[in-house]
Amino acid sequence: MEPAPDLGLGDSSLHRYLDGEFWSLKNELRRLLGGSPLFRHRFDLNLDEMRALTFQRVQFIMGLPLLKRAIQEQAEKTKNFVSRSLVIGEVLSMADMATAVKEFVIDTPCENAEKMYIGNAMYGNYAAVFAQLITKGRSQGPHCFIVPVRDANGSLYPGVTAIDMMYKEGLHGVDNGILIFHKVRIPRENLLDKFGSVAPDGRYHSPIKNKSARFNVMLAALTPSRLAVTFQALGAMKLGLTIAIRYSHSRRQFGPKAKEEVKIIEHQTQTLRLMPHLATALALTFASRYAGVLLDEDIFHGKELVDSRPLQALVAGLKAYSTWENVSCLQDCRECTGGMGYMMENRISGLKCDADVFVTFEGDNVVMLQVVVRELLAQRIKQHQEKPVSTLFRNWAESGSDKLRTSFLAFGVDTVGNLTFLLKAVNFRERVLQRSLVARIHYKVMTKREDFFSAWNSCLHHVASLSLAHIHRVTLEQFWLAVRSCPDQEDQALLMKFCLLYGTKLVFQERAWYLEHKYLTPTASTRIRSQLLDLCDSVKDDALRVISAFNIPHTSLHAPIAGITTAQAAWAFYPAPPLQPQAREGARSQQPKLGAKL
């Protein structure tokens, strides 16, 4: 029997604060997964073997008492069950993304019968199918049915065809396929009847009278799984960053003449590429946690998700933002680890391939950005229901951006390093973009009589910008609130640096817009650039404390370049960096040693 691996888990105030309320649950799951040989990384299997292994992994997971509890709580809608499920998804995604994607979803998404890309299509016994409900010759809009697909022996029922989609870029353990139904008969009871039911005599009944409202309610049911994708993307980001940062603190290249080469983290370009992603991962940690809490509150209070317009906007936007950030982050991690990062042993390449699909699944990101804006506008319109929409649009547009600038701008150049300045800047941007969008659509639809689709389509770039501006603003605010609430002073100071970096990054990347709107002067804009470079440099050693507090088991890290020895690829080993690169005052004794090997 192999000895139990040293998982290198730690425990400090920062570890707990970053893990949040469920830190102890997360540690329990980390130990369970890390201790199981089933979760050893494999990239030498063919498609069938990989699918079979994933199936075994899913069975292992589903057999854990911890998971059974979570599923029971989900059924009973226990308080906070969504947040609890989300962190389980995050930890699972770090151990194996395919396992996290394949069943562990909070709600099984309903799929159109003609649609492709159905996960688990090649093995599942039942499918949840969205189809038009036609009763007594009348369509009542799409409803969700449970359709038996295979019998207990795995044979397809008559009328059901399954096509295997086979090879994908990643997630090889997930068996995507196409299901086609031809005159399949199912009993009336198989209609999921939360939003509509059919009586034995064929009469239709629904608590929601309006057909399109009914459809929106059903779409809102996707909200928790969209948020689950954010948590999985976040898991991948933390993993990639931990590997890339540990390697960058270990590998040396170039340096002053006749002296030892410097660690590559010392290269300005290296910190500039990695540190903003780390700040973003922290910001998203708190923003996605906030969304989970809101979701739990709504569900606990029996509120229909469709009525929570700000929440719908937040979750759709976070899904798009976090998955794009993840793609960009993992690409930088890959490049910052050079050829080593291209080797499957070092984990980053595989994560890239697995997580790449996140940007288009559970709702394509470009569509998600449109959902954000639709919800923001609907929310606004709802607040003014007494007025006709056209008046509202006009008034709204006319309130203009100049007043906004007056109320927001009151800062000299030397305040760009101030978090309040950054918060106001992202607020200003969101509001101006919102008002100008409304004005443009109003003009196109009301004055130029364009049809709404064309008007909207010709503003899509604007819509996307507003949508991201909204999410940036909420994310920075949540990060800032989390810094303020941090109980440990030293942790708080550390997080504050990254919060400043995150805000600086947001304003830096949109500085052209701020210059166009004369919100920044050219001098202030160049100062933002220097501030970004300085902050990236100043947090590069703190980064080691942060990634340590991500508390990723060494079995999940896997990468030899991150200082984890494996039997297979001794050639790729780089020693793990010490937690404090230079001896410093105030080194904390309770911090775990990162140097430990598997």
Segment interacting with its own copies, rule: CB under 8 A, options 65-73, 132-140, 326-334, 580-588: 326-334
Shortest gap between Cβ of 87 and its own copies (angstroms)? 27
- Based on the shown chain and the rule CB under 8 A, indicate whether residue 325 belongs to the binding site for its own copies: no
Instruction: Round to whole Å and give the CA distance between 273 and 331.
Output: 10
Rg (CA), the chain: 26
- For its own copies, how many residues bind (rule: CB under 8 A)? 69
- Based on the shown chain and the rule CB under 8 A, indicate whether residue 178 belongs to the binding site for its own copies: yes
Site for its own copies in 497-516 (CB under 8 A): 511-512, 515-516
Of 86 and 520, which CB lies nearer to its own copies in the complex structure?
520
Instruction: Round to whole Å and give the CA distance between 196 and 368.
Output: 27
For the purposes of burial, counting CB atoms within 10 Å of the CB of 570, is it exposed (0-12), middle (13-18) or buried (19 or more)? Answer: exposed
Find the binder of its own copies among 9, 47, 293, 381 (CB under 8 A).
Answer: 47
Site string for its own copies, 459-498 (x = CB under 8 A): xxx--x----------------------------------
Map tokens 């009973």 to a residue: 76
- Based on the shown chain and the rule CB under 8 A, indicate whether residue 267 belongs to the binding site for its own copies: yes
- Based on the shown chain and the rule CB under 8 A, indicate whether residue 26 belongs to the binding site for its own copies: no
Of 285 and 349, which CB lies nearer to its own copies in the complex structure?
349
Shortest gap between Cβ of 376 and its own copies (angstroms)? 18
Residue 142, SS3? strand
Find the binder of its own copies among 76, 522, 567, 586 (CB under 8 A).
Answer: 522
Find the binder of its own copies among 56, 112, 457, 485 (CB under 8 A).
Answer: 457
Instruction: Round to whole Å and give the CA distance between 320 and 381.
Output: 24
Segment interacting with its own copies, rule: CB under 8 A, options 331-339, 392-400, 555-563, 578-586: 331-339
Of 134 and 512, which CB lies nearer to its own copies in the complex structure?
512
Site for its own copies in 141-170 (CB under 8 A): 163, 165-169
Map tokens 């499920």 to a residue: 85
CA distances (Å), 451 to each of 113, 396, 457, in order? Answer: 31, 21, 10
- Helices 348-355 and 223-248: angle between axes, nearest 10 degrees: 160
Instruction: Round to whole Å and give the CA distance between 5 and 9.
Output: 11
- Based on the shown chain and the rule CB under 8 A, indicate whether residue 579 belongs to the binding site for its own copies: no
- Based on the shown chain and the rule CB under 8 A, indicate whether residue 569 belongs to the binding site for its own copies: yes
Contacts of 471-474 with CB under 8 Å at 24 or more apart are: 471/287, 471/314, 471/317, 471/318, 471/320, 471/321, 471/372, 472/321, 472/426, 472/429, 472/430, 472/506, 473/426, 473/427, 473/429, 473/430, 474/287, 474/290, 474/314, 474/317
Q: Tell me whether strands 197-198 and 204-205 are parallel, antiparallel or unpaired.
A: antiparallel
Residues that bind its own copies (CB under 8 A): 43-44, 46-47, 116-117, 163, 165-169, 178, 254-257, 262, 266-269, 272, 327, 331, 334-335, 338-339, 341-345, 349-350, 352-353, 356-357, 359-361, 364-366, 451-454, 457-461, 464, 511-512, 515-518, 522, 525-526, 533, 568-569, 571
